[in-house]
Amino acid sequence: MCGVLTNERAASIDGVLLRSAQPVGRSPEALALLQRRGIPFILLTNGGGRHESDRVAELSRALHVPLDLASFVQSHTPFAELAAEEGGLREECILVIGGDGDNCRQVALRYGFRNVVTPADIVTAYPAIWPFSKALAPHYKSVARPLPRPIDPANPSHSLRIHAIFVFSDPRDWALDTQIMLDALLSSGGVLGTRSPLNDHADHPNRGFQQDGQPRLYFSNPDLWWAAQYHLPRLGQGGFREAFEGVWAAVTGGRDHGVALRKTVIGKPSQATFEFAEARLNMHRKTLLRDPDPAPLKTVYFIGDNPESDIRGANEYVSPWKSRWYSVLVRTGVYSGQQPDRAPTRVVKDVWEAVQWALEQSNAPKAS
């Protein structure tokens, strides 16, 4: 086709290709068509909670299309770079939040982080840290591991210290996770069981909050809503973040008192995630095209179901490689047909129709 080297595809997953693990419309045929024609594409999702290789194998089975790990990006995939950085967090103790059971710990370990703790580890070792989780204690005990250090505020140099907090996936126990995150962010130097003497001091930036070596805080997915099996959208990780920010404001005084929650949020629609995705697309197309120096990427068609994450992200993205992105909104996920706040380039029925339209824009023959 004309434009193989200049017109690429990117697609969201939940609500575009799948809904509750079942293919949406003709999504398998759409991906198979792109593969037959040698058109590079990547799959970009705000989902996560499992390692990329496991999810790619699952998607390949569900869609009946063999997919490549190099063409798949989850919300937390960029976290792996923080484990690989020289002098980074590889050897430091990190707190991993969210996901089913022990899955997110396992993902973090496979990314290269070597010292990973979870709320289950902490509440199992110190049940009094959140006394309202007794009903869930057997579950936590089944996935907990011994802490690398005790919580001993009287001996801070030998106590458990958290260097970073990563929300990998949607938290399952918002109350427990909120309490432990709050303890770490109010601590002295990330040492659990302590309180920073700088907290609420007006003569320090941010009134002293998060100014005393507390852990860095990372969220991987800003989505307030996501399309699940239920007929109405369900709250996602963005809902948890909003709730946590509400608690943070209640505790610290919030913006009315000049206090913000210092954090990094990646995932769609962030510029950082779209840059990461385009870099991955560029690497993938070099391999697919068997050309170490292909013609520059000029046009990308981004297909998604969520106006606030997919369409906003594609519309606002500024490509460092100067490519132009077109946003295509499908009706098979979060979007239900009302006038979207973020206007897409095109609204279509499903991913098959989206691919057909993109081929037409590229002056390539459509498939029947």
In this structure, how many other beta carbons lie within 10 angstroms of the beta carbon of residue 318?
9
Supply the DSSP string of 202-268, one letter for each residue. TTSGGGGTT-SSPPEEEES---SEE--SSSS-EE-HHHHHHHHHHHHHHHH-GGGGT-----EE-ST
Distance set, CA 83 to CA 51, 78, 104, 357 (Å): 15, 10, 14, 40
In this structure, how many other beta carbons lie within 10 angstroms of the beta carbon of residue 293?
6
Spatial separation of the C-alpha atoms in residues 260 and 93, rounded to whole Å: 24
| Spans of the chain below 70 pLDDT | 1-12, 365-368
Spatial separation of the C-alpha atoms in residues 6 and 3, rounded to whole Å: 5
Using alpha carbons, select from 180, 168, 174 the residue that is nearest to residue 123: 180
Identity at 325, one-letter amino acid code: W
Identity at 234, one-letter amino acid code: R
In this structure, how many other beta carbons lie within 10 angstroms of the beta carbon of residue 356?
18
Q: What is the pTM of this model?
A: 0.91
The answer to whether 294 and 286 have CB atoms below 8 angstroms apart is: yes
Element (H, E) at 279: helix 271-289
Q: What is the pLDDT of residue 1?
A: 22
Identity at 43, one-letter amino acid code: L
106-114 long-range Cβ contacts below 8 angstroms, 24+ apart: 106/51, 107/48, 107/49, 107/50, 107/51, 107/76, 107/168, 108/79, 108/83, 108/166, 108/168, 110/51, 111/79, 111/80, 111/83, 112/80, 112/83, 112/84, 113/83, 113/89, 114/90
Q: What is the pLDDT of residue 226?
A: 83
Q: What is the pLDDT of residue 81?
A: 94
The answer to whether 34 and 26 have CB atoms below 8 angstroms apart is: no
Using alpha carbons, select from 177, 183, 165, 182 the residue that is nearest to residue 89: 165
Q: What is the pLDDT of residue 11?
A: 60
Residue 157 per-residue DSSP state: G
The answer to whether 160 and 93 have CB atoms below 8 angstroms apart is: yes
Q: What is the pLDDT of residue 233?
A: 86
Q: What is the pLDDT of residue 22?
A: 87
Q: What is the pLDDT of residue 9?
A: 61
What values do phi and psi take at 125, rounded to 5?
-75, -35
